[in-house]
Structure 1
Amino acid sequence: MNDFIERLQRHDEKALKYVVEHYLGLVKAITLKILEKPSDYMLVEECVNDVFLLIWQKSHYFTGDEADFKKWLGMITKYKAIDIYRKQQKHLATLSMDSIPPLIASDNIEQQLDRLYAKELLLLEIMHLPDLDRELFLMRYYLEYSNSEIAEILHISKSAVESRLYRGKKRLAKNPKLKECWT
């Protein structure tokens, strides 16, 4: 079973073909979950191709068995899809002012900007959490996985997910600027 990992590390093309055949569904599912509604299907294909290229190029860094390989592949896919998502969002943010719809009269631009600032601040604070807690927060609140899905992916109990999220929220709530994020 682990034979394909060793062959992949020696850059055997048949091993790469095996990885693509067996893990393409997982890679596409993670990519689609993160990119959610890609404006261009080519983004999904680009991400999938980039993931398998990275696996090919970085396989010598991998150590472990097939279960670990699946987790490693999933994490590479997740981070690559997040990178593509961020690039897409950055591109959308640089569109001309003509493409931005006018504000509704009842909208308060100051409140909207405050909420955006609070969300950015929250993301920065989340990045200072311990690795597992950071993963939990990103999966729950940015990728919108359910607690059960997170527990299954990370191989921990659902109650452990819930208590870590609760303790993390309490830690983050100490920052008064972040209170808007939870309301």
Structure 2
Amino acid sequence: MTDFIRKLQQRQEKALAFVVNTYMPYVKVIAKKILQHSCGTGAVDECVNDVFLAVWQNSTKFNGDELEFKKWIGTITKFKAIDMYRKQKKNETVSLEHTKEQEDNKNGEVLYLRKEQKESILIELQTLPDTERELFLMKFYLDLSNGEIAAALGITKAAVENRLYRGKKKLATLPTIKERLE
């Protein structure tokens, strides 16, 4: 067994310093290859630190020569980097799911408010003459275009636009509608 491995197993800090100085480039290359594109350089540095901590903590479990030690430290690096990569991706997924959940809640609230407004506006539409009420229902509840409304009623598109304009003016004078329009 190589001298630095024996000293590392005896928890001599100089042996750890030797391992760090000797294997840092090797460990960093492996960590960068796995983490660089997805997690950034901060994750690479954190991974390298975790590797050397694991080497220090598990050195007594290692049995072999210097060549096997290099393979051992490379394997530790690979698994630490993969774990960090998975953790990062899991956090991103949780973050995206949380954002989507917030968006869904917000959309639900908006849909509820729109439904409530539509119901109260329907009550207000009862004050309009039948032809204007029919125009509003086709335009704002059935989402038909002015051209489609004109074709369905057998009138011109300009007539549809004028009647909608006059109807909006009438509705705007009602107190409950006026408050919503402001």
TM-score (norm 1): 0.51
Higher relative contact order (CA 8 A, sep 6+): 1
Number of residue pairs matched?
100
Deviation, 1:38, is 3.9
* Alignment partner, residue 86 of structure 1: 86
* Alignment partner, residue 40 of structure 2: 40
Classify the secondary structure of the residue corresponding to 1:26. helix
* Alignment partner, residue 76 of structure 2: 76
Deviation, 1:40, is 3.4
Deviation, 1:53, is 0.3
Provide closer, same or farther for how the CA distance between residues 94 and 9 of structure 1 changes in structure 2, counting only shifts above 3 A.
Answer: same
Classify the secondary structure of the residue corresponding to 1:25. helix
Classify the secondary structure of the residue corresponding to 1:37. helix
Q: Do the aligned partners of 2:4 and 2:15 also contact (CA within 8 Å) in 1?
A: yes
> What is the alpha-carbon distance in structure 1 between the residues aligned to residue 17 and residue 74 of structure 2?
17
* Alignment partner, residue 11 of structure 1: 11
Identity over aligned pairs, percent: 52
Any unmatched runs of 5+ in structure 2?
101-182
TM-score (norm 2): 0.52
More helix by share: 2
> What is the alpha-carbon distance in structure 2 between the residues aligned to residue 46 and residue 92 of structure 1?
18
> What is the alpha-carbon distance in structure 2 between the residues aligned to residue 88 and residue 3 of structure 1?
38
> What is the alpha-carbon distance in structure 2 between the residues aligned to residue 62 and residue 80 of structure 1?
17
Q: Do the aligned partners of 1:35 and 1:44 also contact (CA within 8 Å) in 2?
A: yes
Q: Do the aligned partners of 1:8 and 1:16 also contact (CA within 8 Å) in 2?
A: yes
Q: Alpha-carbon deviations, 1:33-54, whole Å to 9, x = none?
A: 1113144321111100000000
For 1:79, the aligned partner's letter is: F
> What is the alpha-carbon distance in structure 1 between the residues aligned to residue 97 and residue 77 of structure 2?
33
